Structure 1
Amino acid sequence: MPGAIPDNYPDLVDRAAELFGESEAVRDGDMSLSFADIKRLSDECAAALVASGLEPGETVGIWAPNAWEWVISSMGTLRAGGVLVPVNTRFKGREAAFVLSKSKIKVLFTVAGFLGYDYVKDLHEAADGGHSVPSLADVVVLRGDAPTGTISYTEFAARATPKAADEVACRCAAASGEDLGLVMFTSGTTGLPKGVLVHQAPVLRNFAQYAAELGMRQGDRMLVVNPFFHAFGFSAGITPCIMQGATIHPHPVFDVQSVLQRVQDEKITILPGPPAIFQSLINFAGLDDYDTSSLRSSLTGAAAIPVETVVAMRERLGFKTVLTGYGMTETHGLAAICASDDPPELVATTSGRALDGVELRIIDDEGRDLPIGQPGEILVRGYNVMQGYLDDPVATAEAIDEDGWLHTGDICVMNEQGYIDVTDRKKDMFISGGFNVYPAEIEKVMAEHPQIGQVAVVGVPDERLGEVGAAFVVPSPAGVPEADALRAWCRAQMANYRVPRYFWNVEALPLNPSNKVLKNELREQAANRLGAGLR
């Protein structure tokens, strides 16, 4: 049928242009693009990539905030047969260089500045420090002046030729849902980021069900506060909007008043996001000064959410539908979701049940299935499980067993209806303001500080962000680090959400007989310190 949702992005863009045509696809400030514009401009971008030598299967990075150019460059990459590698906008140069080098990026789309960051300068400094990206041929500046060694997007787009456009048409015609679409970087307890191989068909199938549960339809307006570099922004924002003919309203930085102003002025109907966003809106003293009556649907997740928040989202913000879901990059962004008619108590206390075509199991440490109501590790099997990590067969084999079950490392309880409640994380990862934070990555960087002999980081509760980091530091012979100075140093070395909130000097870290740090003991120590008012 002509309106059926395809299994790949090139066909999805074609379908949107055919079905929704001149309907508004993106609204970004004064810039308004139709679905026909999306196809035209992404084809121009794709032709420029082909003319620049991009071959099918080669990688293209985007290191930029939410903006209309992100939508064009991402769809252009996919229409050229390329593989998209989103880069975290909070990364410092050395962090970005690792991701770009690991994925062999050929072209990078970026901006001249964002939140005080100068991405191009950061990359140059990273290269000078030994963190270069040998594969990188072109750095294309989407906004702002193009520094020496880069090219503006206007100049880049001018590379497109009729011959390259013909090649783009051929590559689009050959596109398949089995094609690799993205490499999205996550991390494990080793501290080294791993590139998840994200294929096109599973993403589209996942978020077709997501869109259906949200009740998305043509003419909806989604404010996308979740960053496009994250699955919550790209897969759950850009993707369902193109599917359903909804308008994407990119929002680069969360700010309560600016979000409320846009909700009011642009009549936003759909607003997904982590609980911290909605709690900030609900608790804002001036909320009643804004008209939020246009809001209809939301999905929240990535952190625990109180029942009161779900109720307030409906009563104070006006949402008719509020859903929660569970997933990770390794499950193409989604594995479970609530139904649109689930009551607030079920939405707030669970993360939904398995998507159609997906199986969930709860097991103990010996791999045995646990009865209903017993906590254990959740396993996922189905079409949505990744095929593996980029160039890392060992990590892939550790994550996915021979029967196809993905071992998530998350501790869950399942009820009689199959709804899951994520109660803990088997791994050390914690979530701060919706961002996954991996202590090993922080520890690896902090270990470079001359006054740090050993360091261990754990997540501790935080009322606003869900969790924040607490660092236990064993000083080196060079001296005892001062907390404020150490915090400032960390902010210069890593993304802000990774910087620990608390820094405590200790004589030694608790170790087990295998000389591994006992993180549970550190969490208890952290709770005692915070309970005693130590900051």
Structure 2
Amino acid sequence: MSAAPSYVHGASPKPLLGDTVGALIDRIAATHPERPALVVRAQHVRMNYREFHAEVERVAAGLLALGLTRNDRVGIWAPNRAEWVALQFAAPKAGLILVNINPAYRAHELEYALNRVACRAVVLPRRFKTSHYLDILAGLAPELAASGPGQLHAARLPELREVILLDDMPAPGTRSWQQLAALGDASALAHLHEAERALGFDDPVNIQFTSGTTGAPKGATLTHHNIVNNGWFIGEAMRLTEHDRLCIPVPFYHCFGMVLGNLACVTHGACMVIPGEGFDALTTLETVAAEKCTGLHGVPTMFIAELEHPRFAEFDLGSLRTGIMAGSPCPIEVMRRVVEEMHMAEVTIAYGMTETSPVSFQTVPDDPLERRVDSVGRIHPHLEVKLVDEHGRVVPRGMPGELCTRGYSVMLGYWDDPARTGEVIDSARWMHTGDLAVIDADGYCSIVGRLKDMIIRGGENVYPREIEEFLYTHPKVQDVQVFGVPDPKFGEQSCAWIRLRGGCTSSEAEIQDYCRHHLAYYKVPHYVRFVDAFPMTVTGKVQKYLMREAMVAELGL
């Protein structure tokens, strides 16, 4: 008897939601007006759902009062703050498309992102840690200093008109967040409510950049329906209710913070608890204890940092029960410690990708601990997955194949890029993930490799092709190959093998410094080696797996 095919369907008695993001926050705020909605300790912000809803409406009305119109793009280039959460709900309420910009981006990446999707407005803080956001933007748009608010006309950022500064004092050419919210008066609110009536849940609402392994970053375009429902079913798997308080130290610019965190909470009337602008193990532990959080999110690297913190034992984490660990595989010993020492008996594992809003598989609290480590759980409700071979045929259960998913969660496409959209979404609307997986007889899925060459460093996706193309701009570099090598702390680190131009010499530090000035920190190659040639096949294809094996041997990994 032949094995069953590797096809699973998330049949569910729970229907999909038909809400837009605006309708969702209206409904939840009306149902749970006095329940806590948002706590941001670093900013001393505490709002219940009635207050949070009012802030969202003011900001949404203010955005329309600026002259922004339906489907205009609004960029958010900021770490985790209260304003990020408000804008996440305000922009779609106003019929605008929120563009998530990684706060680690530097000028080169920011310019590309803003222009690729033609952002009309961008929201940013003056600075965070060593990143001077306003200075970087002003470097791209020196015209800002001589502009009035809303009057920017920059040669390098031709579509950008509005700069909203997350600061009490606006700079030349900008508005403050307070000034934006103040525009949301009674007349503007009436305009907002009129504009909302024209919106549908299939409208685009969010653009997140993802590179794949070829070319420049692509703008995965997600709808209300995509992210509202994915947040709803993520929260269902966690068994969230309005009595839960979820600590969210993962970044909002990524689906992990925005969908698995914020939307999972809001769809269930739970409280979003934000420990700080960026991840800090001690601050996270303090926040969980002080706020009596019932859930905690993180990539394995974050949980390890919390467990290993010298003051870990000082904190009462007894309120915890659930949370999500995702982003990279979790060692079983780490999972055991999270369950036992952090009291997260119901912690779940999730798998997905930005293009699928993101979660396709998730474990549930009833799954045995071993299944929460050796698999990514079973199919999410209302989704389909099949595993196919190189000819597109469905493989038998237990055999590896490329994971393809179909359903409400699949993105509209890459923004203004039908060619690259067509490379991953076929005519039957299957999203080809590039991940190799195995589905067993019980429907549990294990990710066993990647067709794509992506590196996952501490939960951050690093795309070798993007780094390679940048390194080609170095005057000494003739050829370069970037690949991942195992790392005990981050899961993987990037390594660059470089062939220099004739007569040139360089150093690891020189290459890293060149990258550091132009790329986000996590994209800077951790290892750099100078070689005379790359291992090749007889047909001239580079064999990165041989480079990886050589580095593993050299480093004793």
Same fold (TM over 0.5): yes
Cα offset, 1:514, TM superposition: 5.2
CA distance in 2, matches of 1:46, 1:515: 54
Partner of 2:30: 18
CA distance in 2, matches of 1:213, 1:4: 14
SS at match of 2:550: helix
Partner of 2:58: 44
Q: 2:125 aligns with which of 111, 133, 144?
A: 111
Identity within the alignment, %? 32
Partner of 1:297: 322
Q: State whether residues 469 and 501 of structure 1, in contact with CA within 8 Å, keep that contact through their aligned partners in structure 2.
A: yes
CA distance in 2, matches of 1:417, 1:355: 14
Cα offset, 1:403, TM superposition: 2.0
Once the two structures are superposed, residues 152-203 of structure 1 have per-residue CA deviations (whole angstroms, 9 ceiling, x without a partner) of 1122233334332211011223332111111111112223111111011122
CA distance in 2, matches of 1:388, 1:272: 28
CA distance in 2, matches of 1:145, 1:89: 21
Partner of 1:86: 100
Partner of 2:261: 237
Q: 1:463 aligns with which of 488, 496, 500?
A: 488
Q: State whether residues 80 and 171 of structure 1, in contact with CA within 8 Å, keep that contact through their aligned partners in structure 2.
A: yes
Q: State whether residues 79 and 251 of structure 2, in contact with CA within 8 Å, keep that contact through their aligned partners in structure 1.
A: yes
Partner of 1:136: 160
Q: 2:400 aligns with which of 375, 379, 392?
A: 375
Q: State whether residues 346 and 364 of structure 2, in contact with CA within 8 Å, keep that contact through their aligned partners in structure 1.
A: no
SS at match of 1:344: coil
Cα offset, 1:348, TM superposition: 0.6
* Amino acid corresponding to residue 83 of structure 2 in structure 1: E
* Amino acid corresponding to residue 230 of structure 2 in structure 1: N
Is residue 2:418 matched to residue 1:358? Answer: no
Q: How does 1:234-313 map to 2 (within 5 A)?
A: 234-250=258-274, 251-313=276-338
CA distance in 2, matches of 1:456, 1:145: 46
Partner of 2:10: none
Partner of 2:7: none
* Amino acid corresponding to residue 10 of structure 1 in structure 2: G
Cα offset, 1:109, TM superposition: 0.9
Unaligned runs of 5+ in 2: 1-14, 144-153
Q: State whether residues 141 and 155 of structure 2, in contact with CA within 8 Å, keep that contact through their aligned partners in structure 1.
A: yes
Partner of 2:19: 7
CA distance in 2, matches of 1:437, 1:7: 34
SS at match of 1:497: helix
* Amino acid corresponding to residue 15 of structure 1 in structure 2: R
Cα offset, 1:283, TM superposition: 2.4
Q: 1:450 aligns with which of 471, 475, 478?
A: 475
Is residue 2:39 matched to residue 1:27? Answer: yes
Is residue 2:528 matched to residue 1:503? Answer: yes
Once the two structures are superposed, residues 284-327 of structure 1 have per-residue CA deviations (whole angstroms, 9 ceiling, x without a partner) of 33321211111110111110111222211111111120111111
Partner of 2:68: 54
* Amino acid corresponding to residue 27 of structure 1 in structure 2: V
Is residue 2:139 matched to residue 1:125? Answer: yes
* Amino acid corresponding to residue 231 of structure 1 in structure 2: C
Is residue 2:241 matched to residue 1:217? Answer: yes
CA distance in 2, matches of 1:431, 1:96: 22
Is residue 2:231 matched to residue 1:207? Answer: yes
Cα offset, 1:66, TM superposition: 0.7
Q: 2:221 aligns with which of 191, 197, 203?
A: 197
Is residue 2:83 matched to residue 1:69? Answer: yes
Partner of 2:148: none
Cα offset, 1:436, TM superposition: 0.7
CA distance in 1, matches of 2:155, 2:453: 27
Partner of 2:3: none
TM-score (norm 2): 0.92
Partner of 1:391: 416
Once the two structures are superposed, residues 457-481 of structure 1 have per-residue CA deviations (whole angstroms, 9 ceiling, x without a partner) of 1011111111110110111236221
Cα offset, 1:131, TM superposition: 8.5
Partner of 2:373: 348
Q: State whether residues 14 and 39 of structure 1, in contact with CA within 8 Å, keep that contact through their aligned partners in structure 2.
A: yes
Is residue 2:445 matched to residue 1:431? Answer: no
Superposed structure 1 runs of 4+ greater than 6 Å apart = 128-131
* Amino acid corresponding to residue 98 of structure 1 in structure 2: Y
How many residues end up aligned between the 2 structures?
530
Q: State whether residues 271 and 295 of structure 1, in contact with CA within 8 Å, keep that contact through their aligned partners in structure 2.
A: yes
Q: State whether residues 372 and 414 of structure 1, in contact with CA within 8 Å, keep that contact through their aligned partners in structure 2.
A: yes
SS at match of 2:436: strand
SS at match of 1:507: coil
Describe the shift of the 1:288–1:117 C-alpha distance in structure 2 as closer, same or farther (beyond 3 A).
same
SS at match of 1:237: helix
* Amino acid corresponding to residue 547 of structure 2 in structure 1: L
RMSD, matched Cα? 1.9
Q: State whether residues 223 and 268 of structure 1, in contact with CA within 8 Å, keep that contact through their aligned partners in structure 2.
A: yes
CA distance in 2, matches of 1:479, 1:145: 49
Q: 2:110 aligns with which of 79, 91, 96?
A: 96
Cα offset, 1:117, TM superposition: 0.6
* Amino acid corresponding to residue 312 of structure 2 in structure 1: L
CA distance in 1, matches of 2:457, 2:169: 34
Cα offset, 1:393, TM superposition: 0.9
CA distance in 2, matches of 1:397, 1:70: 32
CA distance in 2, matches of 1:315, 1:296: 10
SS at match of 1:15: helix
Cα offset, 1:52, TM superposition: 0.8
Unaligned runs of 5+ in 1: none
Once the two structures are superposed, residues 222-261 of structure 1 have per-residue CA deviations (whole angstroms, 9 ceiling, x without a partner) of 1111111100011111112111121111232212211111
CA distance in 2, matches of 1:322, 1:42: 31
Once the two structures are superposed, residues 118-140 of structure 1 have per-residue CA deviations (whole angstroms, 9 ceiling, x without a partner) of 11211232357998221111110
Q: State whether residues 191 and 438 of structure 1, in contact with CA within 8 Å, keep that contact through their aligned partners in structure 2.
A: no
CA distance in 2, matches of 1:464, 1:433: 8
- Quick check: 188-197 or 433-442, which moved more? 188-197
Partner of 1:227: 251
CA distance in 1, matches of 2:205, 2:172: 31
Q: State whether residues 57 and 184 of structure 2, in contact with CA within 8 Å, keep that contact through their aligned partners in structure 1.
A: no
Q: State whether residues 246 and 261 of structure 2, in contact with CA within 8 Å, keep that contact through their aligned partners in structure 1.
A: yes
* Amino acid corresponding to residue 320 of structure 1 in structure 2: A
Is residue 2:506 matched to residue 1:494? Answer: no
